[in-house]
């Protein structure tokens, strides 16, 4: 039964990825695609949106301009001392204005699952459906002014373990995040700056459900990124993301990372990071190597 569920999930993810790719390709014919500078569209974060690794940016995924369309596929893995986090999915951008995304997240407890009473290898899975709309500015081409690119977005999240997340104190296994992001690329300083405000009820990004005994409602959290373009192909930097602390007895820490993103070309990029997720489900010091591959146009 478990094998069937995993297989079915993979087919669903693939179908959605192909659907997003086909949607983008349908709009791409005769359009001006690939016009952005390398890395200025960001990579794909853990929730499938265009941005950094743990932060969401105002940029729209893909290398399309206002006259084009783009799409990306991604796969990411983060190895922690007591857990493994994986995500894959697809995103598409249209006219550098609208972004649609899907990500499938898996939080594998490995041997730690037995210590938590869940069973060895127990895995939390979550689907994240996202939409982003650029409402003003251009992160790259408005170099004659300091106005950033600003986007608003929504992420609809569904966790497949309602019984377990309620047992640990969460109120719901489904939730919706809302955010507003501002991003600026300062070319003469080789800097990429981003600040994002997120309204959320999510525990560990939703992998442990939404709301809890401490707080069941929305709270406003911040995400930030700063990057330095070492060359046109290499971006290095750091990110920080504040987190709510809703679950009684299960402390949740802020996340941060140090990253390097390298664009092989406009169709392939790789991101590596040292990520610190703090305490997860009473297990402290959850920090390790994050690797993500992105392919698209």
Q: Evaluate whether 106 touches 134 at the Cβ level (below 8 Å).
A: no
Tokens coding 47: 């929730």
Range in 11-20, 117-126, 192-201 the model is least confident about:
11-20
Per-residue pLDDT band at 127 (split at 50, 70, 90): very high
Q: Classify 145 as helix, strand or coil.
A: coil
Q: Evaluate whether 66 touches 142 at the Cβ level (below 8 Å).
A: no
Residue 9 has pLDDT above 50, yes or no: no
Model pLDDT, residue 15: 52
Whole-angstrom Cα distance, residue 157 to residue 127? 6
Q: pLDDT digits over 150-179, tens only?
A: 999 999 999 999 999 999 999 999 999 999
pTM, two decimal places: 0.87
Model pLDDT, residue 1: 43
Q: pLDDT digits over 53-87, tens only?
A: 999 999 999 888 888 899 999 999 999 999 999 99
Model pLDDT, residue 34: 61
Q: How many CB atoms lie within 10 A of CB 11?
A: 10
What domains can you pick out in the chain, each with its CATH number? Answer: 2-296 (2.40.160.40)
Percent of the chain with pLDDT over 90: 75
Q: Evaluate whether 232 touches 38 at the Cβ level (below 8 Å).
A: yes
Range in 7-11, 34-38, 128-132, 290-294 the model is least confident about:
7-11
Please name which of 128, 146, 127 lies closest in space to residue 137, comparing C-alpha atoms.
146
Model pLDDT, residue 31: 53
Q: pLDDT digits over 191-200, tens only?
A: 999 999 999 9
Tokens coding 86: 């994986």
Q: Classify 285 as helix, strand or coil.
A: coil
Contacts of 282 (CB under 8 A, 6+ apart): 249, 250, 251
- Averaged pLDDT of the chain: 89
Please name which of 101, 26, 23, 97 lies closest in space to residue 65, comparing C-alpha atoms.
97
């Amino acid at each position: 039964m478990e094998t069937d569920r995993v297989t079915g999930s993979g087919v669903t993810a693939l179908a959605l990825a192909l659907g997003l790719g086909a949607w983008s390709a349908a709009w791409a014919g005769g359009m001006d695609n690939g016009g952005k500078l390398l890395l200025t569209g960001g990579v794909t974060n853990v929730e499938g949106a265009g941005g950094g690794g743990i932060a969401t940016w105002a940029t729209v995924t893909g290398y399309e301009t206002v006259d084009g369309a783009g799409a990306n596929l991604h796969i990411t893995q983060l190895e922690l001392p007591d857990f493994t986090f994986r995500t894959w999915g697809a995103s598409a951008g249209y006219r550098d204005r609208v972004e649609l995304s899907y990500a499938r997240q898996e939080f594998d407890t490995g041997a730690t699952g037995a210590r938590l009473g869940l069973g060895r290898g127990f895995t939390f899975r979550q689907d994240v459906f996202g939409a982003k709309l650029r409402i003003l500015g251009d992160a790259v081409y408005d170099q004659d002014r300091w106005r950033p690119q600003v986007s608003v977005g929504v992420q609809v999240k569904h966790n497949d373990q309602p019984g377990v997340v309620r047992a640990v104190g969460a109120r719901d296994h489904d939730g919706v995040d809302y955010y507003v992001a501002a991003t600026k690329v300062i070319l003469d300083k080789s800097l990429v700056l981003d600040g994002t405000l997120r309204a959320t009820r999510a525990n560990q990004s939703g992998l442990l459900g939404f709301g809890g005994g401490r707080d069941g409602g929305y709270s406003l959290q911040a995400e930030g990124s700063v990057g330095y373009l070492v060359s046109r192909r290499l971006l290095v930097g750091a990110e920080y993301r504040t987190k709510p602390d809703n679950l009684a007895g299960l402390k949740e820490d802020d996340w941060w990372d140090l990253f390097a993103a390298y664009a092989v070309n406009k169709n392939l990029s790789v991101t590596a990071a040292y990520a610190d997720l703090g305490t997860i489900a009473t297990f402290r010091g959850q920090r390790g190597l994050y690797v993500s591959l992105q392919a698209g146009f």
